[in-house]
């Protein structure tokens, strides 16, 4: 495996990313310089993976997958929007941003009992993790408190808990941990070089800082991005390099295919070649061998043959249920039929 000596990920404030120059110096001092104990990926190394003949790439990804996971098991999560729309941010793909005119209707924070009914339904249909998403820039303390109760009650039902609430301030991750939160989702979305084309109301560093707080509170990190927003292959590789080079890569890496929603700035973006999407999944699997790679948004428009290739490339997690926050997702019965066809077991 190729190792980086040059790509120093810029993240001065966060502890979540290693400075690879320091790492190299440290390895030399300790006599570990030539040992294959730490993987750092340069962007050009990941681009080289993308450029492999498809069969070679799939073989590498599948081999890596089998070394680390049961290849016929897929983890299943359900995602519920607990507070919808009216968000002050300007993420160019998102129908929940208040500034874009979409068909999404704003809804206030759900009541605890309604969240628990949805969690029970998810559990009954086979989900093992329940993710609660709120369209906020970040939670204020008065927002956080009812969510803490939701987390505690969902956890008590025997489900793993996940939340995506936006940027976290100091101390908030610890409160979430104490309530029983297992995973926090906060996506990097794309490579740093393309980020400004998509979002202007929060910086890349803001995102890394939130991920650092999540890691610091000992909550599992769920972080990935969106593919098909007009980024280059280099930038797709750049996103994966950011994730793979964290001192501990995210436990869960959602790879979303852009769902184009009328009224958002990215509506009308050129559609991504589906094979390029599969290549992205394969490169994620190779560069983050021990992470769950989640095939996330965009599955509804994806032919089942492409989904099968994604599983072959090492995707081993999906969202289950008819809705992903505000956009569509395949029906659970459709997923069950596909899993049966492929001999995949839910875990």
Binding site for ligand SF4 (CB under 6 A): 87, 89, 91, 94, 96-97, 135, 166
Based on the residue annotation, tell me whether 94 is a catalytic residue of this protein: yes
Q: Which of 40, 94, 129, 285 is catalytic?
A: 94
Query: At residue 54, what are phi and psi to the nearest 5 degrees?
Result: -55, -45
Residue closer to ligand SF4 (CB basis): 43 or 191: 191
Q: For residues 96 and 220, which CB has a smaller minimum distance to ligand SF4 in the complex? A: 96
Q: Closest CB to ligand SF4 among 89 and 335?
A: 89
Q: Is 131 a catalytic residue?
A: yes
Smallest gap from residue 186 Cβ to ligand SF4 (A)? 10
Nearest distance from residue 259's CB to ligand SF4, in Å? 12
> Least separation, in Å, of the C-beta of 104 and ligand SF4?
10
Q: Is residue 87 annotated as part of the catalytic site, yes or no?
A: yes
Nearer to ligand SF4, 71 or 86 (CB): 86
Active-site residue, 91 included: yes
Work out how close the CB of 209 gets to ligand SF4 at its nearest, in angstroms, rounded to a whole number.
Answer: 15
Give the active site residue among 162, 207, 279, 299.
Answer: 162
Nearer to ligand SF4, 91 or 255 (CB): 91
Choose, from 91, 213, 285, 310, the residue flagged as catalytic. 91
Active-site entry in 202, 213, 236, 294? 294
How near is the Cβ of 269 to ligand SF4 at its closest, in Å?
Answer: 16
- Please give the positions annotated as active site: 87, 91, 94, 131, 162, 222, 294
């Amino acid at each position: 495996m190729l190792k980086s000596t040059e790509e120093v990920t810029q993240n001065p404030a966060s502890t979540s990313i290693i400075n690879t120059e320091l790492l190299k110096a440290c390895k030399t001092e300790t006599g570990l310089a030539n040992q294959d104990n730490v993987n750092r990926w340069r962007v050009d190394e990941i681009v080289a993976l993308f450029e492999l003949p498809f069969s070679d790439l799939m073989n590498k990804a599948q081999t890596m997958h089998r070394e680390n996971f049961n290849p016929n098991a897929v983890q299943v999560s359900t995602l519920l929007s607990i507070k919808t729309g009216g968000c002050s941010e300007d993420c160019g793909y998102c129908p929940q941003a208040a500034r874009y005119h979409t068909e999404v209707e704003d809804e206030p924070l759900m009541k605890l009992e309604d969240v628990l009914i949805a969690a029970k339904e998810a559990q009954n249909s086979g989900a093992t993790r329940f993710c609660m998403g709120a369209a906020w820039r970040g939670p204020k303390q008065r927002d956080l408190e009812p969510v803490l109760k939701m987390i505690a009650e969902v956890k008590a039902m025997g489900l793993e808990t996940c939340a995506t609430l936006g940027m976290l301030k100091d101390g908030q991750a610890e409160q979430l941990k104490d309530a029983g939160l297992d995973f926090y989702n906060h996506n990097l979305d794309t490579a740093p070089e393309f980020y400004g084309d998509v979002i202007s109301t929060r910086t890349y560093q803001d995102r890394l800082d939130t991920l650092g707080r999540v890691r610091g509170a000992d909550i599992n990190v769920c972080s990935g991005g969106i593919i098909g927003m007009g980024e280059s292959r280099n930038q797709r590789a750049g996103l994966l390099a950011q994730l793979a080079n964290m001192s501990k890569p995210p436990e869960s890496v959602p790879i979303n295919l852009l769902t184009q929603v009328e009224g958002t700035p990215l509506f009308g973006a050129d559609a991504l070649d589906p094979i390029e999407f599969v290549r992205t999944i394969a490169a994620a699997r190779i560069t983050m061998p021990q992470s769950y790679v989640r095939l996330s948004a965009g599955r509804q428009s994806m032919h089942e043959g492409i989904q099968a290739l994604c599983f072959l490339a090492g995707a081993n997690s999906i969202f289950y249920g008819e809705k992903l926050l505000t956009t569509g997702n395949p029906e659970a019965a459709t997923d069950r039929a596909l899993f049966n066809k492929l001999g995949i077991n839910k875990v």
